[in-house]
Amino acid sequence: MTPRFATLRRWWGVLADLARPVTDVVRAGADCVSGLGWTTLVLGVVALAAGWVLGWDEFRIIGASLLVLLGLSVLFLIGRTQLEVDLELSPARLVAGDSSAAHVHVTNVARTPLLPVGLEVPVGEASARFTLPALVPGGTFEDVLVIPTESRGVIPVGPVRTQRGDPFGLLRRELEWSEGLDLFVHPRTVALESLGSGLLRDLEGQTSNDVSMSDLAFHTLREYEPGDDRRYIHWRSSAKASGASGQSAFMVRQFLDTRRSHVAVVVDVDEAAYTHPDEFELALSCGASVTLRALADEMETTVVCGTQSAVQPAPHTALDTYSRAAFGPWPLPAATSRLGTLAPDVSAVVLVTGPLTTFEVLQRARAYLAPQVRLVAVQVVPDSALSYREGAGIVVVTLAELSELPLVLAGGVTA
């Protein structure tokens, strides 16, 4: 780089910094011009130029009229708007098929009255539009938007925007006044019996030989030692021991540690495993039902749905994971392999997949799990009969409807 070129580049940077406030204003102004506005501007300039070149007064009048119209439209954008807008969803989480309400509360915090403006609330790919009436300083406006839901997912709501423009649609200025919110539409679920029975039996806490003073597996009584928790003193046994020895003696309960079960639910998000999107929705409903039951049983729980995962989640967080789930390039074996990082101590895994998944794919997924891990694969196959088969350390059950899941997990289907 020559010294002259470096100097020019440096000065160009200085000029760009000085001109940035002007360019920002110009850019903001250009953003206010609609497609019709740009068309009007171009036609006005072309008509004026043609009128001067050709000497036609008609063209000059048309061009001047279009530019005057564009100039008058600017007057509709003049004025400052100062609003305080609150957007609230009630409820913010619901089951597919239910409806939510978006509450919009607007306050004019300016010192001057507010003229009527348009109010827009984006909901998913659509938008709801209101007319915000004239508000005196401190005046308020409230409205409620009902949001029906038909399918699982996450619906973005907001941010609330005001729209000010001319009647001709040439210029339009939008301002955002609130943060956007997410409406979580959870999959449908079905109530299940405790997972400690049926196909997932023997998943209650397993007693170890490690002595503990703070768990629930009662082991034996022993004499009190300094530092023991007095809450575990067994008073009846202490009285008997004191009477037999003639000396004061306290007996305390001693426990053994129990190992809490860790259940992982993996839903296949590979589109190649399904013949129809409804099968994927059924798989998510099955996975969500098992997850809620595991959490209700106070089991350690991990959820994996492709890129979406949750470890030890609250019930609503787990369901949010299912709401976000979508098809992706995550074959079932790859998704199962994530458990090595997310849940290395997993004791049981429930795989939920579609009708096109072969037993070979399930075996490849099984290879990522320790031999002692119990694996149950739930395969959703519409218009099929309930079936059960077991082999290679995998229990495979087939169901056609969500209502059949309780019977399947209760062990009511045999080979």
Q: 212: pLDDT confidence band, cut at 50, 70 and 90? A: very low
What is the structure's pLDDT at 261?
83
Of 145, 157, 182, residue with least CA distance to 323: 182
- Which 3 state secondary structure label does DSSP give 272? helix
| Distance (Å) of CA 97 to CA 100, 149, 150, 186, 188 | 10, 5, 5, 10, 9
Does the pLDDT value for residue 236 go beyond 50?
A: yes
CATH superfamily of 83-186: Immunoglobulins (2.60.40.10)
- Residue ranges in 165-276 assigned as alpha helix (H): 235-245
**What residues contact residue 270 under an 8 Å CB cut-off, 6+ apart?**
327, 328, 329, 330, 331, 332
Does the pLDDT value for residue 151 go beyond 90?
A: yes
The mean per-residue pLDDT over the stretch 175-191 comes to: 95
What is the structure's pLDDT at 208?
40
| Distance (Å) of CA 244 to CA 79, 239, 248, 322 | 94, 9, 10, 62
Q: What does pLDDT average to over the chain?
A: 85
What is the structure's pLDDT at 31?
74
What is the structure's pLDDT at 232?
73
What is the structure's pLDDT at 197?
58
Q: Do residues 332 and 268 make contact, with C-beta atoms less than 8 angstroms apart?
A: yes
CATH-assigned architecture of domain 261-409: 3-Layer(aba) Sandwich (3.40)
What is the structure's pLDDT at 32?
77
Q: Which two tokens stand for residue 73?
A: 């439209």
Q: Which residue has the higher pLDDT, 227 or 98?
A: 98
Q: 239: pLDDT confidence band, cut at 50, 70 and 90? A: confident
Does the pLDDT value for residue 287 go beyond 80?
A: yes
Q: What percentage of the chain reaches a pLDDT higher than 90?
A: 57
What is the structure's pLDDT at 172?
82
What is the structure's pLDDT at 78?
76
What is the structure's pLDDT at 21?
62
The mean per-residue pLDDT over the stretch 201-206 comes to: 48
Q: Is it true that the peptide bond before 137 is cis, omega within 30 degrees of 0?
A: no
What is the structure's pLDDT at 210?
42
pTM: 0.75
What is the structure's pLDDT at 256?
45
The mean per-residue pLDDT over the stretch 351-362 comes to: 97
Tell me whether the CATH fold assigned to 83-186 matches the one assigned to 261-409.
no
Q: Do residues 289 and 188 make contact, with C-beta atoms less than 8 angstroms apart?
A: no
Give the CA count within 13 Å in the CB-facing half-sphere of 241.
15
**Reduced to 3 DSSP states, what percent helix, strand and coil does the chain have, rounded to the nearest 5?**
35, 30, 35
The mean per-residue pLDDT over the stretch 82-105 comes to: 96
Q: Which residue has the higher pLDDT, 116 or 200?
A: 116
The mean per-residue pLDDT over the stretch 63-79 comes to: 86
Q: Which residue has the higher pLDDT, 23 or 377?
A: 377
Structural domain spans, the chain: 22-77, 83-186, 206-259, 261-409
What is the structure's pLDDT at 234?
72
Q: Which two tokens stand for residue 175?
A: 């301002």
Does the pLDDT value for residue 147 go beyond 80?
A: yes
DSSP 160: -
